[in-house]
Amino acid sequence: MADKLLNWNEVLIGATIKDPGNSKNYETGSWRVEKPIWNPDTCINCMFCWVYCPDSAIKVDEKGNMAGIDYDHCKGCGICVEQCPSKPKSLAMILEANAKNKTEEDLRKELFSK
Amino acid sequence: MAFLNEVAKKKEGLVNGHRLCPGCTHSIIVRQIMAAAETEKYDIVAASATGCFEVSTGLYPYTSWNIPWIHNAFENVASTISGVEAMYKALKKKGKIDKDIRFIAIASDGGTYDIGLQALSGAIERGHRFLYICNDNNAYQNTGNQRSGATPFAANTTTSPNGSVIHGKTQSQKDIMSILEGHHMKYLAQASPSNWRDLMNKVKTALDVDGPTYINIIEPCTTGWGFPPDQAINMAQLAVDTCVWPIYEVVEGKVKINYKPKTKLPVEEYLKPQKRFAHIFKKGNEGLLEEFQAQIDRRWNWLLKREESGIGY
Candidates B5, B16, B230; nearest CB to A82? B230
Helix (H, G, I), strand (E, B) or coil at B26: helix
Alpha-carbon gap: A41 to the closest alpha carbon of chain B (Å): 18
The CATH number of A27-112 is: 3.30.70.20
* H or E element that contains B93: helix B77-93
Q: Where are the domains of chain A?
A: 27-112
pLDDT band at B160, cuts 50/70/90? very high
β partners of residue B249 = B189, B256
Alpha-carbon gap: B168 to the closest alpha carbon of chain A (Å): 28
Query: Is 50 exceeded by the pLDDT of residue A2?
Result: no
Q: What is the ipTM of this complex?
A: 0.91
Cβ of residue A3 closer than 8 Å to a chain B Cβ: yes
Cβ of residue A69 closer than 8 Å to a chain B Cβ: no
Q: Do B23 and A54 touch (CB under 8 A)?
A: yes
High-pLDDT (> 70) share of chain A, %: 96
Q: Do B9 and A77 touch (CB under 8 A)?
A: no
Q: Do A23 and B57 touch (CB under 8 A)?
A: yes
Please report the domains of chain B, with CATH numbers, ordered by start residue: 11-309 (3.40.50.970)
pLDDT (0 to 100) of residue A105: 86
Helix (H, G, I), strand (E, B) or coil at A78: coil
Mutate to test the interface with A, among B62, B201, B221, B231 (most CBs of A within 10 A): B62
User: For A12-61, what is each residue's pLDDT tens digit?
Assistant: 888 888 888 889 988 899 999 999 999 999 999 999 999 999 999 999 99
Mutate to test the interface with B, among A18, A52, A70 (most CBs of B within 10 A): A52
Candidates B2, B22, B32; nearest CB to A31? B22
pLDDT (0 to 100) of residue A15: 83
Q: Report DSSP letters for B177-206, one per residue.
A: HHHHHTT--SEEEEE-TTSHHHHHHHHHHH
Strands B187-191 and B213-218: parallel
Q: How many contacts does A have with B, using Cβ atoms within 8 A?
A: 137
pLDDT (0 to 100) of residue B26: 93
Cβ of residue A23 closer than 8 Å to a chain B Cβ: yes
User: For B62-99, what is each residue's pLDDT tens digit?
Assistant: 999 999 999 989 999 999 999 999 999 999 999 999 99
Q: Which pairs with CB-CB distance under 8 Å and at least 24 residues apart come from B258-266?
A: B258/B195, B258/B198, B259/B195, B259/B198, B264/B300, B265/B238, B265/B241, B266/B242, B266/B293
Nearest residue on chain A to B19, judged by CA atoms?
A28
Number of Cβ within 10 Å of residue B137's Cβ equals: 30
